[in-house]
Amino acid sequence: MTTLWLIRHGPTHETAFTGWRDVPADLSDTAALARLSARLPEGAPVIASTLTRARQTAAALAGPRPRLPDDPDLREFHFGAWDGLGWAEVADRWPDLSRRYWEDPGDTAPPGGESWHEAEARVSRAVDRLIASALTDVIVVAHFGAILTQLRRARRVSAAQVLAQPIAPLSLTRLTRTGASWQVGEVNHHP
């Protein structure tokens, strides 16, 4: 049995697509970080994506917990040419493609980016490695899309259904894997 304590990184205040573009997190809400850290298991190792916002958040939450090497497979979705553009600009420049990307997530990808299926396979590889390592608890600091891929997996719903689920910055989503079964605990929880 492995419990994944999935944490979305601290806020970035970005108003555009932010995938692999490396931006810092705002970790000024030290009270929220302290509450979140207190909710996490004491001896559990902490792992993060290789993006700065996740690494900074992991460092702020880790305290005496051991750190595992950052994993690029835990990165946010790769938005390719859309990264750094606003939602309206993407919809204006790629109306059919952007509509398909959100309404029927699966194999549709932004130019130079990755599809839902590609991102989910990448994140799932990282999660499966953590599960195979026989850790009882592991704290994973990642991103909105990365967390949603694993929530979709656990709930066994479509990508379109899980996209409606909010995952706020500094929120906790807890998933437990026992054999082939998933159990969903808190989702988008703010301690």
Give the pLDDT of the chain (191 residues) as one tens digit per residue: 999 999 999 999 999 999 999 999 999 999 999 999 999 999 999 999 999 999 999 999 999 999 999 999 999 999 999 999 999 999 999 999 999 999 999 999 999 999 999 999 999 999 999 999 989 999 999 999 999 999 999 999 999 999 999 999 999 999 999 999 999 999 999 99
Q: Does residue 9 have an active-site annotation?
A: yes
Domain assignments of the chain as residue spans, ordered by start: 2-184
Cα–Cα distance measured from residue 76 to residue 51, given in angstroms and rounded to the nearest whole number? 8
Catalytic pick among 9, 114, 120, 143:
9
| Cα torsion through 128, 124, 176, 19, rounded to 10 | 130
Q: Does residue 120 have an active-site annotation?
A: no
Cα–Cα distance measured from residue 105 to residue 99, given in angstroms and rounded to the nearest whole number? 9
Catalytic pick among 76, 114, 120, 143:
76
Asked whether the whole model's pTM tops 0.75, one would answer yes
Q: Which CATH class is domain 2-184?
A: alpha beta
> The tokens of 122 are what?
């990448």
Provide the 10 A C-beta neighbour count for residue 19: 21
